[in-house]
């Protein structure tokens, strides 16, 4: 599925992802949008980069940047890739828009030696307060959609994702809680603290 946040020239989490990727690596960016992250990786890490994007507009924008991107759906098309096809597979702000997140994660771990996943944390304290005091699905700057028109179909918390990683036997190499600008929260804390204060999360996984 296509990711649901609007790309800018360089998001804070894009820089963090770039720092995790080995120079010259084979990379697949799933839900790559207009190609901002993939373009950054090609320019600064000289990766052999490929992309998959659901929307035709996104594919066109990527091709205009000179990127190798195909139109595809993470829920259906990852099965077409062979085992260990890439050094890094990236799913940036897309997990919550997939129909079968656990199966998608399994496919990522199959086709990539390293998997980078980022997503909005529905367990953030502002979301909890909106549910508690207003009794309505949260609408924030980072989650701007109303419940009836959101493209996000499987919200999760940081805690939910950690438990899913355990279920699919994914090894967490690195984990970060991020603020709305995609910057690390700046200190190490137990999962329950990150689950409360992190507006986003970023994970580096191995099978």
Q: 114-160: per-residue pLDDT in tens?
A: 999 999 999 898 888 888 888 877 787 767 777 777 777 888 999 99
Q: 91-110: per-residue pLDDT in tens?
A: 999 999 999 999 999 999 99
Q: Which pairs from 81-86 meet CB under 8 Å and 24+ separation?
A: 81/28, 81/107, 81/111, 82/111, 83/110, 83/111, 84/111, 84/112, 84/113, 85/26, 85/28, 85/111, 85/112, 86/25, 86/26, 86/27, 86/28, 86/50, 86/111, 86/112, 86/113
| Overall pTM surpassing 0.85 (yes/no) | yes
Q: 8-39: per-residue pLDDT in tens?
A: 445 778 999 999 999 999 999 999 999 999 99
């Amino acid at each position: 599925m296509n990711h649901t946040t609007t790309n800018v020239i360089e998001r804070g989490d894009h820089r963090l992802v770039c720092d995790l990727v080995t120079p010259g690596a084979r990379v697949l960016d799933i839900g790559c949008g207009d190609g901002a992250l993939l373009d950054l990786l090609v320019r600064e890490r000289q990766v052999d980069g490929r992309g998959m994007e659901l929307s035709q507009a996104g594919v066109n924008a990527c091709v205009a940047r000179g990127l190798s991107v195909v139109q595809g759906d993470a829920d259906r098309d990852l099965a077409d890739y062979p085992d260990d096809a890439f050094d890094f597979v990236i799913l940036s702000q897309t997990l919550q828009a997939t129909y079968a997140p656990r199966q998608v994660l399994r496919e990522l771990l199959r086709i990539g030696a390293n998997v980078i996943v980022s997503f909005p944390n529905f367990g953030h304290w502002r979301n909890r307060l909106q549910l508690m005091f207003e009794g309505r699905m949260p609408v924030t700057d980072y989650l701007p959609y109303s419940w009836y028109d959101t493209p996000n179909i499987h919200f999760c918390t940081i805690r939910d994702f950690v438990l899913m990683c355990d279920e699919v036997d994914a090894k967490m190499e690195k984990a970060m809680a991020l603020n709305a600008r995609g910057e690390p929260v700046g200190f190490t804390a137990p999962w329950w603290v990150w689950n409360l204060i992190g507006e986003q999360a970023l994970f580096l996984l191995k099978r």
